[in-house]
Structure 1
Amino acid sequence: MLSLALLLSLSMASPTVAVRCEPAPAPSADETRDSTLVALYDAGQPWTEFLGAARARRAQWLENAARPLAPADAVARARALPGRWRLLVVAVDSCSDSVNTIPFLAQLVAAVPQLDMRVISPRAGRALMEARRTPDGRAATPTVIVLDESGAEAGCWIERPAALQAIAMAAGAGGGTAAFAAQKASWYASDAGASTVAEVVGLLERAAAGTRGCDLGAGQTRQ
């Protein structure tokens, strides 16, 4: 008969095996989506790292990043938001819409303690872009997804401000033409990020109030 001391030594040396009597339930679609978004966010680049690595349109990235953030009222509204919020941004340095919007969102984030931001590439964020298309059906950069404190999607902002998207749609140039490219550059230079910041702050305010959906531009939303 084994002694008590020997039994104790064997139990301590044996690995513990966890036995599950019933299979674990499969995660819901929402749980899978949210965990994927959090994983992508955690793997994303901080803004300063993305900016430092930007090569295409580099001078414009640096210039816009250094411009003063104009809409003080939008910053004040963002600072009044309850909770914490994260912006998961799909962007690429060569994109003219990204370079004219994301630096200003980065300035907003830097000015508001409740906000954080990470940037991922279109390759990593392809499925996110495909699921959140522009009004004319394109997967586009930038795609900005708002995550709440729990990591759930609280809304998204797609490609460019609504006023500019409406101009593009009216001209049939959603994806860009030579004539629209010049008009777009002029519009962005005049706007200086104000519309982008105001629209994203509005999106955050609606999310904080419980209304969640995507701003697609050109006056269109998706719940």
Structure 2
Amino acid sequence: MLHTRLRAGVMAGLSAALVALAGSPTSAVAASRPSCVIAQDSTLLSLFNSGQSFPDFLAAAKARREGWLKMADSARVDDALVARAKAVGGTWHLLVVAIDACGDSMNNVPYLAKLSALVPGLDLRMVLPVNGRPVQDSHRSLDGRTATPTIVLLDSNGNDVGCIVELPREIRDWAHGVRGRVSSDSLHTGIRTFYAGNRGVAITTEAVEMLEAAKAGAPRCSRGSRP
């Protein structure tokens, strides 16, 4: 887990940047964590099995290619998070709907791919929206959009037991709080600033929490909200 001092420094720097962007102090909006509907659906497992591995997706990427390659090469996951994910045990599947042109996908999926590579029993496959649209339709953002990345956790039987939509919780809460109060350019600058300082800690932490919740029988679905 990120050391407290480093984490405080990153968040303090981000807060300062966001205040400058918004023109006034902002406060985080409480996370909305609606429960996922557990529904066994063999089509989800079939969709997962039809997907690309991350290396194959990376090899085919054209848009933002240099960014994808850089993120894939530099992605690291904290040892403590890896240990927590391993402790969950069992067989789990991360079904990711993403496109290479999506900046949020580029800044999050490589860390999830690294986590899955380090945790036995955790596999990740990627599908494009042309095939994954039903998954996006059933896991929309809080403002009703389909979004990328849409990350759905499946258990070994294909049950939908968790999701993360579009953004990690920490920046998702901020984005929801300032929605409509800052320009789209300022919003995206704030998100990029967060990604640069956070280095995948938020998305991997949330993914491990999602695994732990699924094991405990309390599916967690965290949906994004962004203009």
Shift of 1:186: 1.1
Which residue matches 1:110?
117
Does 1:61 pair with 2:68? yes
Note if contact 2:77-2:204 (Cα within 8 Å) is conserved in structure 1: no
1:184 is aligned to 191
Aligned to 1:90: 97
Counterpart selection for 2:160 from 130, 153, 166: 153
Aligned counterpart for 2:137 among listed residues 118, 130, 145: 130
Q: What are the within-5 Å matches in structure 2 for residues 1-150 of structure 1?
A: 30-31=39-40, 34-150=41-157
SS at match of 2:217: coil
After TM superposition, give the deviation of residue 70 of structure 1 in Å.
3.9
Q: Give the share of equivalent positions with the same residue, in percent.
A: 40
Please tell me whether residue 194 in structure 1 is matched to residue 225 in structure 2. no
Name 2:28's counterpart in structure 1.
none
Aligned amino acid, residue 206 of structure 1: A
Gaps of 5+ in 1: 1-28, 219-223
Tell me if 1:211 matches 2:218.
yes
Superposition deviation, residue 217 in structure 1:
4.6
Distance across 1 between alignment mates of 2:65 and 2:89 = 35
Q: Distance in 2 between matches of 1:70 and 1:46?
A: 19
Query: Higher mean Cα deviation, 133-142 or 43-52?
Result: 133-142
SS of equivalent to 2:123: strand
| TM-score (normalizing by structure 1) | 0.79
Conserved in 2, the CA contact under 8 Å of 1:146 and 1:156?
yes
User: Which is higher, the Rg of structure 1 or of structure 2?
Assistant: 1
User: 1 or 2 for the larger relative contact order (CA 8 Å, sep ≥6)?
Assistant: 2
Structure 1's 166 and 142: CA in aligned 2 closer, same or farther, altered over 3 A?
same
What do you get for the CA RMSD once the two structures are aligned?
1.8
Q: Could you tell me how far 1:71 is from its partner in structure 2? A: 2.1
Q: Does 60-69 or 43-52 show the bigger shift?
A: 60-69
Q: Distance in 1 between matches of 2:220 and 2:205?
A: 16
In the TM superposition, residue 30 of structure 1 has moved relative to its aligned partner by 4.0
Secondary structure of the residue aligned to 1:98 is helix
Q: Secondary structure of the equivalent of 1:133?
A: coil
How far apart are 1:191 and its partner, in Å? Answer: 0.6
Q: Which amino acid aligns with 1:43?
A: S
CA contact (8 A) 1:70 1:192 kept: no
Cα distance between partner residues in 1 of 2:196 and 2:169: 16
Partner amino acid, structure 2, of 1:81: V
The answer as to whether partners of 2:42 and 2:158 remain within 8 angstroms in 1 is yes
Would you say the 8 A contact 1:145–1:156 is kept in 2? Answer: yes
Per-residue deviation, 1:206? 0.5
Separation of aligned partners in 2, 1:167 and 1:138: 18
| Whole-angstrom CA distance in 2 between matches of 1:217 and 1:132 | 10
Aligned residues: 187
Superimposed CA distance per residue, residues 88-147 of structure 1 (whole angstroms, 9 cap, x where no aligned partner): 000000001000000000000011112101000011111111111112221100001111
In structure 2, the residue corresponding to 1:92 is in which secondary structure?
A: coil
